[in-house]
Amino acid sequence: MKLLTRDVPPRAVWALEQAGVHPLLARLFAARGVASKDELDDGLSRLLPPSHLLGAAQAAVLLADAIEKNLRICVVADYDCDGATACAVALRGLRLLGAQHASYLVPDRVLDGYGLTAKIAQRVKDGGADVLVTVDNGIASFDGVAAARALGLQVLVTDHHLCALVEGQVQLPEANVIVNPNQPGCAFESKSIAGVGVMFYVLLALRAELRQRGAFTSVRAELVEASPSTSSGRTATPGEPRLDTLLPLVALGTVADVVRLDANNRRLVAQGLKRVRAGALPAGMAALFRATSRKSSVATTFDFGFALGPRINAAGRLSDMTLGIECLITDDASRADELANMLDGINRERREIEGEMREQAFAIAESLFDEGDEPPPAICVFDPDFHEGVVGIVASRIKDKLHRPSFVFAASQAPGKEHELKGSGRSIAGFHLRDALDLMAKRHPGMLLRFGGHAMAAGCTIEEDQLDQFDEAFSQVALEWLDAATLTRSLQTDGALSPEYRRVDLVDTLHAEVWGQGFAAPTFSEEVEVLSQRLVGEKHLSLKLRHQGQPVDAIWFGHTEPLPARVKIAFRLDAEEWQGRRAVKFLIEGVER
């Protein structure tokens, strides 16, 4: 691994320091493209306005009409954390804004597959709905949307995934309204907003529409809620429903979906974190903090990404995402605790399954090349005993270990689909996975039954007898697109850590900030002396290091190979408590070989 140091624009550092930003934070922010303190303003008034989001105003009219006519609205969700939080935001928001009949339906990963299908549309119609709203899915559901319209349902698609391409042209489903920042003609600047964020914006637009219709009469103009400007240029007042109560859910879904934390997404997450830390969070989120032994009062993006998010996701992977959604929409603390504990149990089961699959997948992947040789440019793994709900996680583990675009396949568990394989892929920087699948589909018509996704994560379904062809096609695209530089593992770091910053209070300061995809958590790198090292739990390396002349404890999770006496490491800062005393600890991210 090569450890690279981020460029730090000195002018930006100076400007941030002059504006009162702590010198360490000024350096970190400048290295991530922040040039002024204004960019760090996370106030709701700085959010992009809903009027910039194509289709939001039309969606508001459709939903406002439905509310006025007392129509039945059914939300069709996705079975990951983004989909679950988007569903919870939709239901809570619609009910806050006056919808008397708002329900939801979430497809079963095994029985229904992904997205709005014709069968799902029929179930929505049979349930008595008049309006169907998709969250975090639908942009490629051509048959499902057409079936829903044919059944007489009004269809609103809210999604953030890339649109389908047919012969090089963008194709959209024939919904009544589509809200997706990645559809042609949309000027919304935050193209990386999560599905839950799209639904939140639709609700902001809906509130503005209802305001214009005079739906809110008990208002006091002198008490104005801090809220992003709406398309009418006005802000909400306490006489209107407070949609900011939904921001903890928006923050959770945004972080868990690993979307790029651009300025707008960072503001959404920051606002959600503030409310969580203040205790203003849904009962289900509070229960998940308790179930994971985390403190919501000091919540971080790491809690969302590595504690709460995986437990919500586990329901969709192994069981029924209804459990996750129910946890997020209940206001009953006892019920929330019950559901959170169930989700925690499912997640433990998921970890056990993943562990077994991971070892088997590693063995298959490593059999593809001789010891001492470089891995092939792309990795494709299948075993008939793999669980389709965990293939994405295992693909991510292979990608992390071998630094190659990786696909893991499992046999479909759906009745009558046993001949199909469900695959999930994860990629490395410089290799757009969905575009690769699109090229493969063009070169080999009929090979991919279904596919979709993003640059770094994508999925597909193939016939089992097409696996070898998929492997060859995947490898061919990788050979064409990847070069030696891209295939060399590297890690961007923030350089050396000055010893005066190796303090517990600064660890807490760093943890309180919003970090994530596209705005990476601080990772420092420098040469240290290894004083001692030992294995803990048979799979982690515990070390005592000498850093800048002072001893410091460190741990390298998931690694057992001993380090030399002097080594250049990449590390994050953490703090641990022992006998009432807190001390800085290094979390090793990698070593330069």
Q: Each residue of 553-564: pLDDT tens digit?
A: 999 998 999 999
Count the Cβ atoms, other than its own, within 10 Å of residue 593.
9
Helix ranges (H only) for 182-292 are: 195-212, 247-256, 263-277, 283-291
What is the band of 111 on the pLDDT scale with cuts at 50, 70, 90?
confident
pLDDT of residue 353: 96
**In the CATH hierarchy, which fold is given to the domain comprising 490-591?**
OB fold (Dihydrolipoamide Acetyltransferase, E2P) (2.40.50)
CA-closest candidate to residue 427, choices 477, 492, 374, 357: 477
CA-closest candidate to residue 341, choices 279, 301, 289, 276: 289
Kindly state the tokens that stand for 547. Answer: 């850093």
Measured between alpha carbons, how far is 141 from 157 in angstroms, rounded to an integer?
9
Measured between alpha carbons, how far is 582 from 78 in angstroms, rounded to an integer?
41
pLDDT of residue 222: 34
The CATH number given to 45-223 is 3.90.1640.30
pLDDT of residue 224: 40
Question: Could you tell me where in the chain the CATH 3.10.310.30 domains are found?
Answer: 368-487
Question: Out of 245-254, 474-483, 535-544, which region has the weakest mean confidence (pLDDT)?
Answer: 535-544
pLDDT of residue 144: 97
pLDDT of residue 238: 56
Question: Could you tell me where in the chain the CATH 3.90.1640.30 domains are found?
Answer: 45-223
Q: What average pLDDT score do residues 376-383 get?
A: 97
Residue 233 has pLDDT above 80, yes or no: no
Helix, strand, coil % (nearest 5) of the chain?
40, 20, 40
Q: What average pLDDT score do residues 166-194 get?
A: 95
Measured between alpha carbons, how far is 532 from 320 in angstroms, rounded to an integer?
46
Residue 220 has pLDDT above 50, yes or no: no
Q: What average pLDDT score do residues 205-214 get?
A: 96
Q: Which residue has the higher pLDDT, 539 or 203?
A: 203
* Burial class (CB within 10 angstroms; exposed 0-12, middle 13-18, buried 19+) of 385: exposed
CA-closest candidate to residue 129, choices 199, 70, 85: 70
Count the Cβ atoms, other than its own, within 10 Å of residue 116.
31
Q: Each residue of 295-326: pLDDT tens digit?
A: 999 999 999 999 999 999 999 999 899 999 99
Measured between alpha carbons, how far is 23 from 461 in angstroms, rounded to an integer?
50
What is the band of 424 on the pLDDT scale with cuts at 50, 70, 90?
very high
Looking at every residue in the chain, the average pLDDT score rounds to 94
Query: Per-residue b/e over 80-96, b at no fewer than 16 CB within 10 Å?
Result: bbbbbbbbbbbbbbbeb
- The DSSP string of 75-102 is EE--SSHHHHHHHHHHHHHHHHTT-S-E
CA-closest candidate to residue 169, choices 187, 159, 184, 179: 184
Measured between alpha carbons, how far is 460 from 260 in angstroms, rounded to an integer?
23
How many CA atoms does the CB half-sphere of 343 hold within 13 Å? 33
pLDDT of residue 68: 97
Residue 229 has pLDDT above 80, yes or no: no
Question: Could you tell me where in the chain the CATH 2.40.50.460 domains are found?
Answer: 490-591
Residue 231 has pLDDT above 70, yes or no: no
Q: pTM to 2 decimals?
A: 0.93
Q: Each residue of 498-547: pLDDT tens digit?
A: 999 999 999 999 999 999 999 999 999 999 999 999 999 888 999 999 99
Count the Cβ atoms, other than its own, within 10 Å of residue 203.
24
pLDDT of residue 414: 87
Helix ranges (H only) for 97-153 are: 118-126, 142-150
> Strand 379-382 to strand 406-411: parallel, antiparallel, or no bridges (unpaired)?
parallel
Kindly state the tokens that stand for 177. Answer: 């309204």
8 A C-beta contact, residue 21 and residue 38: no
Q: How far apart are the first and last CA of the chain?
A: 6
Q: What average pLDDT score do residues 213-221 get?
A: 68
Residue 227 has pLDDT above 70, yes or no: no
Q: Each residue of 49-65: pLDDT tens digit?
A: 999 999 999 999 999 99
What is the band of 237 on the pLDDT scale with cuts at 50, 70, 90?
low
Residue type, 500: E
CA-closest candidate to residue 574, choices 553, 560, 547: 553
pLDDT of residue 403: 96
Backbone angles phi, psi at 249, to 5 degrees: -70, -40
What is the band of 239 on the pLDDT scale with cuts at 50, 70, 90?
confident
**To which residue do tokens 């229904």 refer?**
112
The CATH number given to 368-487 is 3.10.310.30
8 A C-beta contact, residue 440 and residue 477: yes
Residue 235 has pLDDT above 90, yes or no: no
At residue 217's C-alpha, the angle toward residues 223 and 90, to 5°, is 85
